[in-house]
Structure 1
């Protein structure tokens, strides 16, 4: 993320239980080809989620009698076939600084990560991307960069939770597309999801995707008491990649304790912890605190989106100050606050117009 000049850059667990409201359809990506590269690699998380099983019982309830001799035997009711949830296209709400950049990033992620049964191959993915107006050659490159956005499955559906800036400058941007991605294999629906750092550049025709840096899975490890408490706390909404970050043991205890402290007063919807975030503060060579497991971002507070101008600035201001009181040395958001116990403890810029960044030292 882009931060002002502090000395350091800014710094899950039942997936099905943590739901978010999604937007309605909107299609805005322009129909010309993409080209380009990326400015820095992206931190990668473990994927989260496992299929839930609910065995049915065929026993009779007390007091039920068997059918008389000679009567036809009732047939068992067949279970309905497993189905994925419907695809719902994300669209930006009010208050966005560069909504076209986010739409361009999201449309590509939706195209790469959503397919019906029988269309999981490379050629199918290239075809979906090409329908966005991207040349087949570059569409093929993007399909190969998709990584965890293309899990092995018969069918999949991307449902975007949030699109947040990892950084935005005058002519380049990083959009972190945070998503649920349930998959269907055979008759089993499995929850999942990832976060993709989508890089873009501004051209005369609008924003164009130049590269993808999807989160990649890593092993789950034994978690601490604080990590277990965070994963069990219903007032902390975590996306799949962030759940996996916490399960991996790669998130600093200061982050976990701050989340728990803030959850005592607020309901916080986390967008990014470690995974899927640029390694460096966007546009600089300064390491970000996120890949080090020493930061988290919040895109909603008490169910109100930070980016929405209708969200009370008093609420956002109070949350930012509470984050500082929870030990953060580097709190960024849409409001520039004064005071603080350290130099540059509070900051505000275009990147943090859509979320609150909460960073910690080692």
Structure 2
């Protein structure tokens, strides 16, 4: 199937958890957002839920894949797949992490759940999620794993792999990328994220105020809100 699309068949070997040892599998793409976009290269973070059937038993799962693309002329092609590697769950979780995992106003995809359970996400992230969930229903796309290690196109480490950031793709049922989503909702959410302790809030709207460099906007962040922390 990959060859029929004119793509490198080596991609099959990079699919990792998307090709489990199962009799059947069904995949749902929850969201696809930019991890970075330049004129000739891009990272697209594809958030997936997956159900597998083996010996009559259905098991839910899923992952987030950092899909790398390059552009030749007017055509984009997939070059590589980098599935998330959240790591094993910690023996115990901090109280704020447990609260996030049980809060039905915080919707988390499988890789983000595993990130939180791994013990490698700072409590600043969990505290901010809980604070925002008191006002909004937030749907998270990426926390730690499945995100580029560096800010795309630079050598500057991203806060995501260090467990100090999360992205939100839908707020109160409204996708950030949807032109019909009220700009006032996104602006209010971004300001509330800053009030919850984020030093680095990015989205489709460039806000005024805040501390120096606290708010930013670029092509990569027109489809989600990035919320980062120093610790």
TM-score normalised by length of structure 2: 0.98
Q: Which residue of 1 aligns with 2:40?
A: 171
Q: Which residue of 2 aligns with 1:227?
A: 97
CA distance in 2, matches of 1:296, 1:205: 32
Pair member with larger Rg: 1
1:266-305 correspondence runs (5 A): 266-305=136-175
User: Is this contact kept in 2: 1:162–1:177, CA < 8 A?
Assistant: yes
- Structure 1: unaligned runs, 5 residues or longer: 1-127
1:61-76 correspondence runs (5 A): none
1:3-22 correspondence runs (5 A): none
Corresponding residue SS for 2:44: strand
Q: Are residue 196 (structure 1) and residue 65 (structure 2) matched? A: yes
Deviation at 1:217, TM superposition (A): 4.9
Q: Which residue of 2 aligns with 1:144?
A: 13
Corresponding residue SS for 1:211: strand
Deviation at 1:231, TM superposition (A): 0.4
CA distance in 2, matches of 1:205, 1:302: 36
User: Is this contact kept in 2: 1:148–1:217, CA < 8 A?
Assistant: no
Q: Which 4+ stretches in 1 moved above 6 angstroms?
A: none
Corresponding residue SS for 1:338: coil
User: Is this contact kept in 1: 2:144–2:160, CA < 8 A?
Assistant: yes
Aligned counterpart in structure 2 of residue 183 of structure 1, from 43, 46, 52: 52
Deviation at 1:216, TM superposition (A): 2.5
CA distance in 2, matches of 1:159, 1:316: 26
Q: Which residue of 2 aligns with 1:155?
A: 24
User: Is this contact kept in 1: 2:86–2:144, CA < 8 A?
Assistant: no
- Structure 2: unaligned runs, 5 residues or longer: none
User: Is this contact kept in 2: 1:147–1:216, CA < 8 A?
Assistant: no
Q: Which residue of 2 aligns with 1:250?
A: 120
Q: Which residue of 2 aligns with 1:321?
A: 191
CA distance in 1, matches of 2:51, 2:65: 16
Aligned counterpart in structure 1 of residue 83 of structure 2, from 210, 214, 218: 214
CA distance in 1, matches of 2:20, 2:74: 32
- Alignment RMSD (CA, Å): 0.8
Corresponding residue SS for 1:344: coil
Q: Which residue of 2 aligns with 1:262?
A: 132
User: Is this contact kept in 2: 1:195–1:276, CA < 8 A?
Assistant: yes
CA distance in 2, matches of 1:302, 1:162: 16
Corresponding residue SS for 1:197: strand
* Paired positions, count: 230
Output one character per residue of 1:314-343: Cα deviation in whole Å (capped at 9) or x when no partner: 000000000000000000000000000x21
Bigger proportion of residues as strand = 2
User: Is this contact kept in 1: 2:86–2:115, CA < 8 A?
Assistant: no
TM-score normalised by length of structure 1: 0.63
CA distance in 1, matches of 2:108, 2:144: 12
1:37-186 correspondence runs (5 A): 128-134=1-7, 138-139=8-9, 141-186=10-55
CA distance in 2, matches of 1:299, 1:210: 25
Deviation at 1:151, TM superposition (A): 1.8
Q: Which residue of 2 aligns with 1:351?
A: 220
Output one character per residue of 1:68-124: Cα deviation in whole Å (capped at 9) or x when no partner: xxxxxxxxxxxxxxxxxxxxxxxxxxxxxxxxxxxxxxxxxxxxxxxxxxxxxxxxx
Output one character per residue of 1:45-66: Cα deviation in whole Å (capped at 9) or x when no partner: xxxxxxxxxxxxxxxxxxxxxx
CA distance in 2, matches of 1:216, 1:151: 15
CA distance in 1, matches of 2:84, 2:195: 31
